[in-house]
């Protein structure tokens, strides 16, 4: 199976550089233009299945570059919930008296525990998708989901994965994703 991951396009200006989690925000005008540009890359592509986060920024991105509405929108592809940190920049979070370190930050006061987030991503990509027996799958999602997928796929630490830059409206494809036991074939 080939999985093509697309990060949603740029969000409304006041949310750029923030941990938006489950905040349901739309795209900026630049975001719409960048999402439309993706059409050039995918115009000749045929996907057996299309999955998209149910959050507005991901849905708006998808609708700009894939015509038709055969996508399946799911909460499983949502960004991690950042609890009290949602809508804040990392600078704001790191100067917060409640912030201690990376582990504590990823646990996100009042948000989704990191173990649950990792489990959600792992189940979707390494159990649910392979069980579908599809050849070519498109997934439109969020930076945190993509970074966690790479953590699981490549065996890099979560901290390393979260230091990776995943630009808005970027995409990457991985081949030969079979199941949970076969992560080393990408």
Check whether 57 is labelled as a binding-site residue.
yes
Q: Choose the catalytic residue: 8, 60, 64, 112.
A: 8
Q: Is 79 a catalytic residue?
A: yes
The token pair at 125 is 């990509």
Cα separation, 179 vs 130, whole angstroms: 6
Instruction: Identify which of 112, 118, 83 has the alpha carbon closest to the alpha carbon of residue 99.
Output: 83
Catalytic residue among 10, 60, 79, 86: 79
Burial tier of 25 (Cβ tally within 10 Å: 0-12, 13-18, 19+) = middle
Contact between residue 1 and residue 130 where contact means Cβ atoms under 8 Å apart: yes
Residues 147, 160: Cα–Cα separation, whole Å: 9
**Coil/strand/helix, residue 87:** coil
Active site residues: 8, 79
Residue list for the binding site: 57
Binding residues for substrate: 57
């Amino acid at each position: 199976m080939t999985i093509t991951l697309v990060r949603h396009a740029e969000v409304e200006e006041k949310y750029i550089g923030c941990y938006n989690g489950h905040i349901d925000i739309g795209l900026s005008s630049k975001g719409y233009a960048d999402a439309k540009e993706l059409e050039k890359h995918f115009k000749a592509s045929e996907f057996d299945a299309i999955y998209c986060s149910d959050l507005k920024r991901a849905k708006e991105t998808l609708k700009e570059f894939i015509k038709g509405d055969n996508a399946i929108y799911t909460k499983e592809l949502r960004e991690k919930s950042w609890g009290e940190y949602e809508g804040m920049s990392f600078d704001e979070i790191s100067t917060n008296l409640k912030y201690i370190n990376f582990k504590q930050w990823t646990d996100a006061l009042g948000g989704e525990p990191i173990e649950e987030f990792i489990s959600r991503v792992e189940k979707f990509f390494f159990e649910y998708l392979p069980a579908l027996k599809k050849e070519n799958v498109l997934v439109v999602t969020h930076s945190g989901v993509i970074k966690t997928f790479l953590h699981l796929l490549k065996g890099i630490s979560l901290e390393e994965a979260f230091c990776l830059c995943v630009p808005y409206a970027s995409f990457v494809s991985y081949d030969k994703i079979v199941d949970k036991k076969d992560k080393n074939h990408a």
